[in-house]
């Protein structure tokens, strides 16, 4: 499938495949408040994400993984270091669907299209197409409160895609869902990632989820957040979260994560 979006030439996502990286963080530090007044949240983060790569950022609470995602999204500025996203403003999905309750599902997507500069004539068909993509064709006129949690996250995904960016940042987007719904959404995001050749940076604290989804798992240590270790995962997609391959690697990574957490025991 080719990109269905027709956006202006300067729209995000243009020229993505030519670059060597879709996201690059160099020596990123982040401290809240005055520098030196409190411990850094992120310390010397160096991370390069290749175009079309699916990366999960894994870490215990307090490791600054959401902060990191906010920095990449441009919602916050690093204290020092550089963040490059050559494709322009990336799309961001939250744990909460963050759909606007005063708009229908379809109109939520249309608003994103409109803000991305898509012409009025194409918006409705494009919104319908994106709803079809997340298998919610026919839900155009549904209000947010009429949709289940899983459906809301799928509309939110469609809305993120409507931005036209090929870089998708996801901040624990499935954490609030029940296991079976989450499982289905894992299949959806892997399918859409492959179909649309997206670059995904996915934050989670769920090791199995990280292994189920990613080509690369990046483990962050806590306080300060530093990159502790990385794993490349060559298991073929689509994987099953309960499969032996996913389970084995999850055991290994969980052990490492435990080790990172134990370092914080006060002696």
Interface residue list for another protein (CB under 8 A): 73, 75, 89, 91-92, 94, 96, 98, 100-103, 111-112, 115-116, 135-136, 143-151, 159, 163, 180-181, 183-184, 187-188, 235-236, 238-240, 242-246
Measured from the CB atom, the residue of 147 and 219 that comes closer to another protein is: 147
Q: In angstroms, what is the minimal distance from the CB of 207 to another protein?
A: 17
Report angle CA 204, 229, 266 to the nearest 5 degrees.
80
CA neighbor of 206 nearest in space, from 237, 241, 160: 241
Dist. CA 22–CA 88, nearest whole Å: 10
Q: In angstroms, what is the minimal distance from the CB of 93 to another protein?
A: 9
Q: In angstroms, what is the minimal distance from the CB of 43 to another protein?
A: 25
Measured from the CB atom, the residue of 13 and 150 that comes closer to another protein is: 150
Measured from the CB atom, the residue of 16 and 159 that comes closer to another protein is: 159
In this structure, what are the phi and psi dihedrals at residue 83, rounded to the nearest 5 degrees?
Answer: -125, 120
Cite the DSSP H helix spans in 1-148: 65-73, 105-115, 120-133
Tokens, residue 175 = 């954490």
Measured from the CB atom, the residue of 60 and 98 that comes closer to another protein is: 98
Helix or strand holding residue 54 (H, E):
strand 54-58
Q: In angstroms, what is the minimal distance from the CB of 106 to another protein?
A: 14
């Amino acid at each position: 499938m080719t990109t269905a979006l027709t956006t202006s030439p300067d729209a995000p996502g243009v020229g993505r495949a030519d670059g060597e990286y879709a996201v690059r963080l160099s020596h990123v530090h982040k401290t809240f408040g005055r520098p030196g007044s409190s411990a850094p949240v992120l310390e010397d983060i160096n991370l390069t994400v290749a175009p079309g790569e699916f990366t999960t950022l894994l870490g215990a609470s307090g490791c600054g993984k959401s902060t990191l995602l906010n920095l990449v999204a441009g919602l916050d500025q690093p204290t020092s270091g550089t963040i490059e996203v050559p494709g322009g403003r990336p799309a961001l999905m939250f744990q909460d669907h963050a759909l606007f309750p005063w708009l229908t599902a379809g109109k939520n997507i249309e608003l994103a299209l409109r803000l991305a500069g898509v012409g009025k004539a194409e918006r409705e068909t494009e919104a319908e197409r994106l709803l079809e993509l997340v298998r919610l064709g026919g839900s155009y006129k549904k209000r947010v409160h009429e949709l289940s949690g899983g459906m809301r996250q799928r509309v939110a995904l469609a809305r993120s895609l409507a931005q036209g960016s090929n870089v998708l940042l996801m901040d624990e987007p499935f954490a609030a869902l029940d296991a079976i719904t989450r499982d289905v959404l894992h299949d959806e995001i892997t399918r859409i990632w492959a179909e649309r050749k997206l670059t995904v940076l996915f934050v989670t604290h769920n090791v199995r989820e990280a292994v189920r989804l990613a080509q690369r798992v990046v483990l962050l240590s806590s306080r300060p957040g530093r990159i502790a270790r990385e794993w490349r995962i060559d298991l073929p997609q689509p994987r099953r979260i309960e499969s032996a391959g996913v389970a084995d690697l999850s055991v290994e990574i969980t052990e490492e994560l435990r080790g990172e957490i134990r370092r914080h025991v006060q002696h």
